[in-house]
Amino acid sequence: MKKIQSALISVFNKDGLEPLLHVLNANGVKFYSTGGTQDFIEKLGYEVEAVENITSYPSIFGGRVKTLHPAVFGGILHRRDNENDLKEKEAHQIPAIDLVVVDLYPFEATVASGASHSDIIEKIDIGGISLIRAAAKNYKDVLIVSNRTQYAEVENILNLQKGASSEEQRKHFAMEAFDESSHYDSMIFGYFNQNEDSDSLKISIRNRTTLRYGENPHQQGHFYGNLDEVFEKIAGKEISYNNLVDLEGAVALLEEFDETAFVIVKHTNACGVATGNSVLEAYNRALQADPVSAFGGILATNKTVDLATAEEINQLFYEILVAPDFEPEALELLSSKKNRILVKQVAPIPGKIQFKSLINGVLVQDKDLKTEDKSDLKVATKIAPSDAQIDDLLFAAKICKHTKSNTIILVSKGQLLASGVGQTSRVDALRQAIAKAKSFNFELKGSVMASDAFFPFPDCVEIAHGEGIDTVIQPGGSIKDQDSINYCDENKMAMVLTGIRHFKH
């Protein structure tokens, strides 16, 4: 245990500092400080010595240089068990500093505020970050408080231990200090790298949620990020690893729709998607596609859930229901089943980049943010699709984009009929979709077919035609595109090409 005799305090934000100062003063700690922090301490009635008295040098360049001096850093970094360090300290009349309290300039918040470049540059902390690293390096002798969120914890420790800290505690705060400094530098690098193309990848996410387990019970799992920025959990058990993966899949697909829509997802693939004149209608039509797979799935809608819809949904076992809001009566009913998770989506899923750990590194790519519209469609056949068929083709293409490859999607009148997902051949995906649609008594005649990638042979359009499917959307790009187009022309089918592939692995 080491009792704190002196403290250097230099903070940007003074919120919550007063109780910590009170405890330190009560334990006879001598204060050193600068500028606004010094004024704050003095106004509380505590004695404080200006850092300038230690350095014999004033704050210069508008406050850019205040604490960067051997007298300050020597007081932090000298080793208390090293005879030569102690002799040098005495020779240069350097006072010991046992505690450093720093709250850095708010660089990240300044960037987020949309401030000017010059204002952002001025919020790059130099002295504070240096103090943090010095005190953390010498944790054997010095306690570092690197963020105002730590004030209450340190106050409690010093109250219980009469102004002293253990080496284990100091090492813990040193770890948090290096987390603070590395995160701060990552944010600065990210700002400077916005319009550059650095070979470095730096990601710093500070919020960690420990999950019940990972993908399977024998795997540990954590989520790094602030879920509250996007989702508000209002009822039910804790969200699991698999829940989060499926939740993102459901919401990402749902965000493709402006009209009232309902999505049901199982293992990241949609097993039900539909639009409707009401949430209830959209839900019932989505459920029709595969009521078996919907059991234990993720349900999502882009409109407020009313009581009538809630009464229908309440008959199904599901893992999560996500919506922008719930009517009070609907929420009361759905909350009665404690293991079912209810979530409000309060913001769109942010970000334009995806990451995936792979082998001994990380894959990074732009998110697939392209959604086809009518302007992307090139009619490849003699027969052009009708306006209603175009609507269904675009609807099917949206689902394709969010479904594991190889995939085939069958749609009619704003309703997913069936999908073939994750197959090693496109023919197998189509056959899977046809078999599933028939198992739930869907009529395929007049429906449309979407493919996430081109047809290398005409076999898929041949099979589709045999089932009465007469309209097709696909990216094109095969050297044998014309074979499929010719078959469609010979059999009075319509085909449009998008030029946009949507593989998903």
Residues labelled catalytic: 137, 267
| Cα–Cα distance measured from residue 262 to residue 285, given in angstroms and rounded to the nearest whole number | 8
Q: Could you write out the three-class secondary structure of 233-263? A: EEECCCCCHHHHHHHHHHHHHHCCCCCCEEE
| CB-based contact 163:4 (threshold 8 Å) | yes
Say whether 305 sits in a helix, a strand or coil: strand
| Cα–Cα distance measured from residue 240 to residue 132, given in angstroms and rounded to the nearest whole number | 36
Length of the chain: 505
| Cα–Cα distance measured from residue 237 to residue 396, given in angstroms and rounded to the nearest whole number | 34
Closest CA to 242 of 296, 282, 200: 296
Q: How far is CA 419 from the centre of its chain?
A: 28
| CB-based contact 48:72 (threshold 8 Å) | no
Q: How many CA atoms lie within 13 A of 314 on its CB side?
A: 17
Give 58: exposed, middle or buried? Use CB within 10 Å, 0-12, 13-18, 19+: exposed
Token code pair at residue 2: 């080491």
| CB-based contact 312:284 (threshold 8 Å) | yes
| Cα–Cα distance measured from residue 392 to residue 132, given in angstroms and rounded to the nearest whole number | 59
492: left (phi over 0), alpha (psi -120 to 50) or beta: left
Token code pair at residue 395: 């609807």
For the chain, the farthest-separated pair of C-alpha atoms sits apart, in whole angstroms, at 98
| Cα–Cα distance measured from residue 414 to residue 86, given in angstroms and rounded to the nearest whole number | 79
Report the DSSP beta bridge partners of residue 497.
378, 474
Phi, psi of 345, deg, nearest 5: -90, 120
Closest CA to 270 of 474, 149, 456, 450: 450
Scanning 319-422, the segments in alpha helix (DSSP H) are 328-334, 387-401
Residue 368: count of CB within 10 angstroms of its CB: 15
Residue 93: count of CB within 10 angstroms of its CB: 8
Token code pair at residue 248: 């993102």
